[in-house]
Amino acid sequence: MLKLKSMIAIVDYGMGNLRSVQKAFQKVGADVVITSSSREIENAKGIVLPGVGAFKDCIDNLKRFGIIDSIIKSIEAGKPFLGICLGLQSLFEESEEFGSSEGLGIFKGKVVRFKEMGLKVPHMGWNQVRFVRRPEFLSHIPDNSFFYFVHSYHVVPTSNEIVSGITDYGYEFVSMIYKDNVIATQFHPEKSQTVGLEFIKGFYRFVEQS
């Protein structure tokens, strides 16, 4: 019998360059669908939550599309999950962007604006990621690899146990988290050329093996 590929759902809630994420996964051979359907999210073997823009708009749109429960249930069920940029920030309890906004609360902690350090905000362009700890499926990526960033806010987890990658921009901030089936990045793997594709290939391998 022909073995079917594991379908990965890229969550569409009206924010983010979804096509570039889709194309990156297709380049590594993944079967992906861009969707705002709760049913497709729940039936997928892996979930990708990308996004750029404002935190509150992200949460409001997820509510409007009625897909928050499906995302949380998928994570709680142990389904491989990748959050990218705003997809990382949304996993936390709150953000200080435009006042205080409540997040999904998957992890304890908050999202804060970069401190005034004489550097341009947003933090935009290539920067290094120093791995503190990481899943086996990313072990082939060299430490201190350069990835592409564009953001004005970053996450401050309550617990260091989920911290996976650190980046310096005037001071060190958390650029990647990892716990069990969840990995999320402040950088954009889909915009990070060869090393980004290696990252996506690793996550796809994780989905296939789950």
Active-site option among 85, 97, 123, 154: 85
Active site residue 151: no
Active site residue 154: no
Active site residue 58: no
Give yes or no for a contact between 65 and 75, defined as CB atoms under 8 angstroms apart.
no
Active-site option among 97, 123, 154, 190: 190
Active-site option among 123, 151, 154, 188: 188
Among 59, 60, 6, which Cα is nearest to 209's? 6
**Which residues are marked as active site?**
85, 188, 190
